[in-house]
Amino acid sequence: MLVEHGWDMDKAYDALRKKGLAAAAKKASRHAAEGLVGASFAASAASNGSGDASTSGGGRGSVVVVELNSETDFVARNELFQKLLREVMGAAHGLGPAAAVGPDHAMDMDQLMSARTPSGTSVSEAVTALAAQVRENVRLRRAFRVDSGAGGLVFPYVHQAAAPGLGKLASVVVLAPEQADKAQPLDTAGRGGPQLLAAGGGLAMHVAGMRPLYLNKAAVPPAAMERERELLRQQLAADADFAGKPTKVLDKVVEGRLGKLLADWCLEAQRYVLEDDLTVDKLVARLRKEVGQPVRVASFLRVQCGEGLGAKAGGGDFAAEVARIVSEA
């Protein structure tokens, strides 16, 4: 509603009053950190079937991830809330090539709020209407779209889904040929197809559990590296065990500790959650042999409901929990 009225609060409020939705407008200022994250795969129109997995397992096409917030978990478990989240994901897919997507996969929220749901209303109107129905602040916080790209495959994962495709945490991984413009497209129906599907799904699960910040060391911003170096230097300066040590020795210790941090930060350097004797880069190296062509992790995304909003901590060890789920499967 705000989008449709040029972000003019007074005009939007008057419009809501005319529709009998003023109560929903009053609730919009209340804190909403609960809710759900949804992940939905849609096959690309150009796909001929090779490389396509199931709509839940991923394949050639795009994955949309949407976070819809509420004030309480009770409302998030409501069928109407979950229906709206699915409709918003459908609207996001419906934007097609016209969707405005940033380098971090974030979708343009103004564009999405103006998009039409299957019922014919705008996403903005549908969110406001639900808020009035459930008598809580309901907020469409953010949305992302991750494309498989030329010859690639995209895989979503929803951790402990409350309903198909809906949960508190979603992650996405894209596997792609090394040189997409020159290489054969990855094909789940060809050589190494089962391994591709297993690796894509497993890596998406890994991202959910291990929370990587960057793809590899080259992707870490120099400013972040220098900030950590400075923090490590300050720690050594305050440590009596390192008093009077030569600068070269201190620098070596700093780089060693920084290397350990990078192993936690960077996806490729992390221990693979499903096979602890492998790092992710070694898993991908093995996959190359199984598929018979160069493969790489092109990108990833992790979205947790309420993160940064003061939501209740999720609790527990995600890595251990993911490993347990797999062992029981």
Average pLDDT over residues 196-205: 95
pLDDT, tens only, 61-100: 999 999 999 999 999 999 999 999 999 999 999 999 899 9
pLDDT higher than 50, residue 49: no
Closest CA to 271 of 183, 202, 219: 202
In whole angstroms, give the CA distance from residue 183 to residue 26.
55
What pLDDT sits at residue 44?
79
pLDDT band at 166 (very low <50, low <70, confident <90, very high): very high
Contacts of 29 (CB under 8 A, 6+ apart): 137
Backbone angles phi, psi at 207, to 5 degrees: -60, -40
pLDDT band at 119 (very low <50, low <70, confident <90, very high): confident
- Name the CATH topology of 32-106+139-220+266-310: Tetrahydropterin Synthase; Chain A (3.30.479)
pLDDT, tens only, 235-252: 888 888 888 888 899 899
pLDDT higher than 90, residue 208: yes
Closest CA to 325 of 184, 198, 209, 167: 209
What pLDDT sits at residue 238?
87
What pLDDT sits at residue 239?
85
Contact 27, 130 (CB under 8 A): no
Question: What is the side-by-side strand order in the sheet with 295-304?
Answer: 153-158, 169-177, 295-304
What pLDDT sits at residue 158?
95
The mean pLDDT of the chain is 85
Q: Where are the beta strands (DSSP E) in the chain?
A: 34-43, 61-70, 139-147, 153-158, 166-167, 169-177, 295-304
Query: What pTM, to 2 d.p., does this model score?
Result: 0.82
pLDDT band at 179 (very low <50, low <70, confident <90, very high): confident
In whole angstroms, give the CA distance from residue 98 to residue 41.
17
pLDDT, tens only, 271-309: 999 998 999 999 999 999 999 999 999 999 999 999 988
pLDDT band at 313 (very low <50, low <70, confident <90, very high): very low
Question: What is the side-by-side strand order in the sheet with 61-70?
Answer: 139-147, 61-70, 34-43, 166-167
Q: H or E stretch including 254?
A: helix 247-265
What pLDDT sits at residue 227?
94
The domain ranges of the chain are: 32-106+139-220+266-310
Q: H or E stretch including 253?
A: helix 247-265
Inter-CA distances, 55 with 184, 274, 311, Å: 23, 23, 30
pLDDT higher than 90, residue 108: yes
What pLDDT sits at residue 50?
43
Average pLDDT over residues 51-66: 72
What pLDDT sits at residue 9?
54
Give the residue with greater pLDDT, 247 vs 198: 198
Average pLDDT over residues 222-237: 92
pLDDT, tens only, 253-271: 999 999 999 999 999 999 9
Give the residue with greater pLDDT, 258 vs 33: 258
pLDDT band at 315 (very low <50, low <70, confident <90, very high): very low
Give the residue with greater pLDDT, 313 vs 288: 288
What pLDDT sits at residue 190?
84
Residue 234: CB atoms within 10 A of its CB come to 10
